[in-house]
Amino acid sequence: MVQLSYFQKRDYQRLIDWIPSEAFLIQWSGSQFLYPLTEEQLQDYCTGANSTSATTYIYNVHSKLSGEVIGHISLGRVNRRNRSARIGKVFIAPEYRGLGLSTDLIKAILEVAFVELALHRVELGVFDFNKRALAVYEKVGFKKEGLKRECQLVDQEFWSLWEMAILEREWQESRRKE
């Protein structure tokens, strides 16, 4: 089980320490940041986030058992007119992977999106080789909407990205099945 709290300046160094390489940074954040990740980049990322009318919400992920910060996630591109947003920057610390916490994390951020923010649609992108993440997203109810073929160049290799989304009614249905 996990819980979310707002990501703050005191959390920057932990996140920087979690990013071991340029390829990992790109897998985690797309092209938003440059390697190495810096406090200045994170300050820009956080500017305007987490306020009542924000378009981006950035979170630490805590283990409910220990209270320890074990990950990171954001809900960005919040569009209140269209009631939509995009999940990004999903990260579980290596020592906590494989414990089912990613599923709990996605469920927690969807609760924020569909209950707290009253959204209708939540989308995300995931590189096609990330089979574990794809399985988590599909388990929670996301549907593949399209493959962006060879859209990201990393270390002389092109990566393809699945675009996925879940609608509020699909999320409600998946909760009834639990």
DSSP state at residue 178:
-
* pLDDT tens, position by position, 91-101: 999 999 999 99
Which of helix, strand or coil describes residue 149? strand
List domains and CATH numbers for the chain: 2-176 (3.40.630.30)
Specify the pTM: 0.96
Q: Which tens digits make up the pLDDT trace of 133-171?
A: 999 999 999 999 999 999 999 999 999 999 999 999 999
Q: What is the average pLDDT across 19-48?
A: 96
Quote the CA–CA distance of 7 and 73 in Å, as a whole number: 9
| Phi-psi category of residue 109: left, alpha or beta, with phi > 0 → left and psi -120 to 50 → alpha | alpha
Encode pLDDT of 44-53 as tens digits: 999 999 999 9
Which pLDDT does position 132 carry in this prediction? 95
The per-residue pLDDT for 177 is 86
On whether the CB atoms of residues 96 and 71 are closer than 8 A, the answer is: yes
Gap between the Cα atoms of 109 and 119, Å rounded = 12
Q: Is the dihedral of CA 126, 128, 133, 135 positive or negative?
A: positive
